Amino acid sequence: MGDTAEKKEEELEMHSIANRILYEDDQVRVWDQVMEPNSELKPHRHENDYVLVDLQGAKLHVEMLPGNESEFEGEFEFEGKRGDVHIVKKGGVERAFNHSDKTYRSILIELLD
């Protein structure tokens, strides 16, 4: 990572990857993630691989940020659908926006190292 990318990443204030922790032990951390209509999930870094289970679907706009080291790049639309399960590798630095009129909700299960 170059000096410019490091500087931009340092300027970003990082936040939690979801709203609240439901359960945690030495192997997993389980989060409740709720994004109301017209809300933002602020910049955050995924330090661990995780499983995302969609409970309530909505279309989200995702923006990858400086310092991102995940398989995803740039900006893209993500459409969560009830019952979908996504396995995602660590390294993502991102923020997401719910510009829809639907609430998005998921359970995020971090696989701790």
| Domain at 15, CATH number | 2.60.120.10
Residue 5 reports pLDDT greater than 50: no
For 65-70, what is the mean pLDDT? 91
pLDDT at 12: 79
Residue 43: which of 14, 2, 7 has the closest Cα?
Answer: 14
Residue 3 reports pLDDT greater than 50: no
Domain of residue 60: give its range: 3-111
- Domain count for the chain: 1
| Residue-averaged pLDDT of the chain | 90
What pTM was estimated for this model as a whole? 0.83
What pLDDT, in 10s, does the model give residues 25-60?
Answer: 999 999 999 999 999 999 999 999 999 999 999 999
Strands (E), 2-113: 20-24, 28-35, 39-45, 49-56, 58-64, 75-80, 85-88, 93-98, 104-111
